Amino acid sequence: MSKKDRWEEINAIFAKAHAARKREKLIKEMEEFESGFPDGVYVAHSSPNEPIIKLKEMYRYCREKGIDPNDLTEEEIEQFLVYPNDDEKTLR
């Protein structure tokens, strides 16, 4: 193996190690971010009287069932809604 080939091999090893460290750092940052939203809610509702949709749980449910979110029934959607207070749910 020539000296040039050996250096290219070493550089490739370092590049892979660097990419792995960057990926680990990104995963850690994502996990830290997600820990700030333990209930899976990432969006603010537009009105204080509107329910919040637990998108993370809804998409997990859809993946597990192998269905598209557009194909959810009203009953299925209801399990992912969090109302500002319990009375609000009965008023709708």
Per-residue pLDDT tens, the chain, 92 aa: give them: 788 888 999 999 999 999 999 999 999 988 887 777 666 666 665 677 888 888 889 999 999 999 999 999 999 999 999 888 755 444 44
Together in a domain, 58 and 91: yes
Together in a domain, 91 and 49: yes
Together in a domain, 62 and 78: yes
Together in a domain, 51 and 68: yes
Q: Are 56 and 42 in contact (CB under 8 A)?
A: yes
Q: Residue 11: which domain range?
A: 1-36
Apex CA 29: angle with CA 28 and CA 34, to 5°? 95
